[in-house]
Structure 1
């Protein structure tokens, strides 16, 4: 490739961006096209290709398959860490406790959308183990999903590098819930069994079976164009029970986006599936 030859033509970048949006609903802004080139370098090396244009030629010469999956996986933003925004996760536990107080003995259902490599649902499971089990409260059913099959497989394996395990995870919890195997840290079976990992596409698939009391969908819809975001909200609304709640990322809101959810006046950061009075954020554990 000569010094004057672009790494990717605008046409190739547009095709790759369209593939990502079609498969996942996520959209890459025109001024972030550089991210496509950067993200795909590993895919190009793995398949012996020297440019994104060559990649497009390979993609369009055969039926979609593992190569298309690899392209989409490379472009997804899988940035995550353990106990990301810990106060927010503690809010989820408090909201769950308040729901249990309304109907003692009922087992709640929680859906972690866009779970990436699993740090969010594992963090939730640790919090619920610490807060619920010792007090005899029913442990919630936690379902965690992501659009990438490869990412879901990684999350289900419960294996994390030294770098990943140190991001947000206190040493006490690391020693309690993980075992070291060589250079990796592996989630202990008693924690891993608390989570059901599944592949799920928020804009193409129906919601997982059953109704959920709490849905965490943090920093997922941010990347969706308006039409895809509206479709995703419909899926989320179909999945949450009346009186249940949705948690979005810190920079996200339902205001002006959908009428399927309304802000919860009693618990900041949560959005209710109807206009009923929100349960107060009580501390059930002293």
Structure 2
């Protein structure tokens, strides 16, 4: 479907304003197919007609529909298994040592889409119940898409979705087959809370996360917006917290807020001089006490 330059710019500006994502020329081809459902629902045949409807006083609901349709919600359980192995073998072991005195962990799945990543984390903990006995573990999943968060809260997945990343044993152990799909167990759902949130927004509370997963989200931001996102992520993390990006993402040359963690390939810590994150703890659970306090960071207003 042909999309005029003017209509493309209006749609692109709308997406950027509401999500921070860029609708680059390289993604222009997918506009028509992504919006096809809206075309059918509204009885329109092209993007120019859609843009005219957006200009009407009642166009706000339609605008949100357009943004939701253009967001990339691709996800599946244990996506990139090697990354989850890295979490299990390195990140969580390090954090467990640093939090041995409080036995609390707060984890944020930023850009969680329909919830598979957050539920995969919950499965990791429940499958190692002995190791995490007595720990208070909270997992928050956020996304800018209201539709994705609604699906995550519902925690029901089709046969196709449940088989992407899960073996039969995990399916049966953690999900119940219902006429409406595979429903996550109450135990998993209790560990995870989902909320609509843009990672470009300021932190909503004093909550500081020990581990943040923000994978394949920043790919769609331009340089300045990505830098703002890194700042916001840093503001939401504990001084010695850990950040995991997508397999093809890095903080190197992209931000001054994070630096690679020594000995933990693929993980990043907040960039402080002599930060605790790059120093081995002298006593289990006490390295964070010598970490620098949270500092104000430059940033503007996804999850």
- TM-score normalised by L of structure 1: 0.91
Secondary structure of the corresponding residue to residue 127 of structure 2? helix
- For residues 133 and 120 of structure 1, what CA distance do their matches in structure 2 show? 22
Q: CA 1:188 to 1:54, structure 2 compared with 1: closer, same or farther past 3 Å? A: same
Deviations 1:144-197 (A, max 9, x none): 100011110110100111111111111101001111111511111111111010
1:100 aligns with 2:96: yes
- For residues 98 and 193 of structure 2, what CA distance do their matches in structure 1 show? 26
Q: 1:29 aligns with which of 24, 45, 51?
A: 24
Return 62-71 or 165-174, whichever deviates more. 62-71
- For residues 278 and 65 of structure 1, what CA distance do their matches in structure 2 show? 50
1:207 aligns with 2:228: no
Contact 2:3 2:47 in 1 (8 A): yes
Deviations 1:102-158 (A, max 9, x none): 332421111000000000000000001112456514142101100011110110100
Which residue is 2:135 aligned to? 138
1:68 aligns with 2:54: no
Computed over aligned residues only, the root mean square deviation of the Cα atoms, in angstroms, reads 1.6
Return 216-225 or 27-36, whichever deviates more. 27-36
Which residue is 1:284 aligned to? none
Which residue is 2:294 aligned to? none
Aligned runs of 1:40-55 on 2, under 5 Å? 40-55=35-50
Secondary structure of the corresponding residue to residue 241 of structure 1? strand
Contact 1:141 1:194 in 2 (8 A): yes
- TM-score normalised by L of structure 2: 0.86
Secondary structure of the corresponding residue to residue 131 of structure 1? coil
Q: CA 1:153 to 1:279, structure 2 compared with 1: closer, same or farther past 3 Å? A: farther
Cα shift at 1:32 = 2.3
1:253 aligns with 2:250: yes
Which residue is 2:240 aligned to? 243
Structure 2 unaligned segments of length 5 or more: list them: 282-303
- For residues 31 and 243 of structure 1, what CA distance do their matches in structure 2 show? 37
Aligned length: 274
Aligned runs of 1:1-286 on 2, under 5 Å? 7-94=2-89, 95-104=91-100, 105-133=102-130, 135-203=132-200, 205-209=201-205, 210-273=207-270, 274=272, 275-276=275-276, 277=278
- For residues 89 and 137 of structure 1, what CA distance do their matches in structure 2 show? 22
Which residue is 1:283 aligned to? none
- For residues 217 and 169 of structure 2, what CA distance do their matches in structure 1 show? 30
Contact 2:156 2:180 in 1 (8 A): no
- For residues 77 and 9 of structure 2, what CA distance do their matches in structure 1 show? 34
Which residue is 1:3 aligned to? none
Contact 2:125 2:132 in 1 (8 A): no
Cα shift at 1:52 = 0.7
Contact 1:99 1:279 in 2 (8 A): no
Structure 1 unaligned segments of length 5 or more: list them: 1-5, 281-286
